[in-house]
Amino acid sequence: MTLKDVADTLVASCREGREAETLMTLYAPDAVSVEAVDFGNGREAKGIDAIKGKHAWWESAFEVLEAEVSDPMLHGDDRFAVTFSVKSRNKETDAIEDMFEVAVYHVADGKIVREEFFYAS
């Protein structure tokens, strides 16, 4: 897959709420996911199973009420960025939160090898 193919597929899967389904096809087995802050399990998730675990945690803890995903912004031949605006409900506290983040994805050999998330303060 080209960088554009990977980026377009990731954005489509996020918009359709099936991002967890595409992890095995879009991500390298040893991919790394890096959060801006530690949510209790460290900032980095290393490997596809750890990244799957992050997705499972999110789905168990939050309900997405609204979401907007930007078109991918390509950078050179190995990176792209996407912005996410999400309104979610914390399933434990019922608190409603608005979140905005920028995600930068690094691609090698047609697979995402690293993702980094940046949050608005």
Integer Cα distance of 60 and 71 in angstroms:
27
- Encode pLDDT of 30-72 as tens digits: 999 999 988 777 899 999 999 999 989 889 999 999 999 999 9
Domain residues for 97? 3-119
- Encode pLDDT of 66-117 as tens digits: 999 999 999 999 999 999 999 999 999 999 999 999 999 999 999 999 999 9
Integer Cα distance of 107 and 26 in angstroms:
9
Integer Cα distance of 90 and 95 in angstroms:
5
Tally of domains within the chain: 1
| CATH at residue 33 | 3.10.450.50
Beta carbons within 10 angstroms of residue 95's beta carbon: 10
Integer Cα distance of 101 and 85 in angstroms:
7
Rounded to 5 degrees, what are φ and ψ at 50? Answer: -65, -40
